[in-house]
Amino acid sequence: MLLVRSEKPFTPVEPNLPQRRVVTAIAGGLGNQMFQYAMARRFAQVNQAELLLYFGARYKPGSHRVYGLNKFRTAGRVAAESEAGGLRRIKPMRRRLARLFPSLLPPKDSELVKERDLRFNPDVLSLRGNAKFAGYWQSERYFADIADIIREDFALRDDLDRRSQATSHRIGRGPSCFVHVRRGDYLQEDFGTCSLDYYREAVRRVREQVGAEVRFFVFSDDPAWVREAQVGGADAEVIDWNGEAPERDLALMRRCRHAIVANSSFSWWGAWLGDAAAARLVIAPRVWMKGRSDCADIVPERWLRL
């Protein structure tokens, strides 16, 4: 199979072909949704295909996760159940019955592309025609050749609230760096959280390379903890009012000139969206997910790993 290197510009397909279609499964938090969208957006762009986003019943009212792609200027439309094919979840009881009656299972979908693991898979870039994607696709190499389009797609549909607008103005007044601290569910799940030593060393590196005048803006799902630990220093500003609107935090994070990220897809996007800036320092943890050896392709090589 011919492999397409992500740093090369894409080549449009021939015109006047029948409408092609790409359907991608959307799952997880906002950061994961953005990865799934970005990879499928690139496939749709290269193949001149219609982009469909399928999430079924994953984001019911009151659920832990919230669908957030509609807060941005994203392309595509929501896929109907009839268009999901092999992306639909099969209920456990139906799966057990299907062992006795295989016809209860949906037919195998030859267009379905499942992610093998968290490593970048270059074969995906060379796919053509119709496709349905299931995975997380956490590498910029899946969409690096349309980076400008992705950054435009992830602009907010609505204006920031007044408090966030004032913060955005403060960020733009001088050297700025955001710090993202992920705790919450990471304390219960076995992903591993970034240590306080990591943040202290990262802040020291930023001050050393950028200058003592740099101002830190801290984003976290545990603002009380970051205040007590003085993450970013005693004079850091903690942004704690966008809990119900995480897309606003992303807009502020991308506005910062420099970044210190957690092992989180959410802060990854906060840093990547602002990566078009020159002379930019982004610091990321060396260990992205505890116990996993397939995470090397998540953090771009240009970022500094501690």
| pLDDT > 70? residue 110 | no
- Strand-strand pairing, 77-78 and 237-239: unpaired
- The pLDDT tens digits for 6-41 are 344 434 444 444 578 999 999 999 999 999 999 999
Architecture of domain 162-305 in this structure: 3-Layer(aba) Sandwich (3.40)
Per-residue confidence (pLDDT) for residue 91, from 0 to 100: 47
What is the rounded CA–CA span in Å between residue 32 and residue 40? 13
| pLDDT > 70? residue 98 | no
pTM, rounded to two decimals: 0.87
Per-residue confidence (pLDDT) for residue 107, from 0 to 100: 46
What is the rounded CA–CA span in Å between residue 115 and residue 238? 37
Alpha-helical regions (H) of 19-157: 30-47, 81-84, 92-100, 147-153
| pLDDT > 90? residue 140 | yes
Domain boundaries, given as residue ranges, for the chain: 20-153, 162-305
Per-residue confidence (pLDDT) for residue 188, from 0 to 100: 66
Per-residue confidence (pLDDT) for residue 90, from 0 to 100: 43
Q: Give the pLDDT band of residue 51 (cuts 50, 70, 90).
A: very high
Per-residue confidence (pLDDT) for residue 184, from 0 to 100: 76
Per-residue confidence (pLDDT) for residue 61, from 0 to 100: 78
Q: Where are the beta strands (DSSP E) in the chain?
A: 20-25, 49-54, 77-78, 112-114, 131-134, 176-181, 215-220, 237-239, 258-260, 282-284, 304-305
Per-residue confidence (pLDDT) for residue 96, from 0 to 100: 54
- The pLDDT tens digits for 238-296 are 999 999 999 999 999 999 999 999 999 999 999 999 987 778 999 999 999 888 889 99
What is the rounded CA–CA span in Å between residue 10 and residue 42? 9
- The pLDDT tens digits for 152-189 are 999 999 999 999 999 999 999 999 999 999 987 776 67
Q: What percent of the chain has pLDDT over 90?
A: 72
What is the rounded CA–CA span in Å between residue 129 and residue 215? 48
Mean pLDDT of the chain: 87
What is the rounded CA–CA span in Å between residue 229 and residue 232? 9
Per-residue confidence (pLDDT) for residue 158, from 0 to 100: 97
Per-residue confidence (pLDDT) for residue 166, from 0 to 100: 98
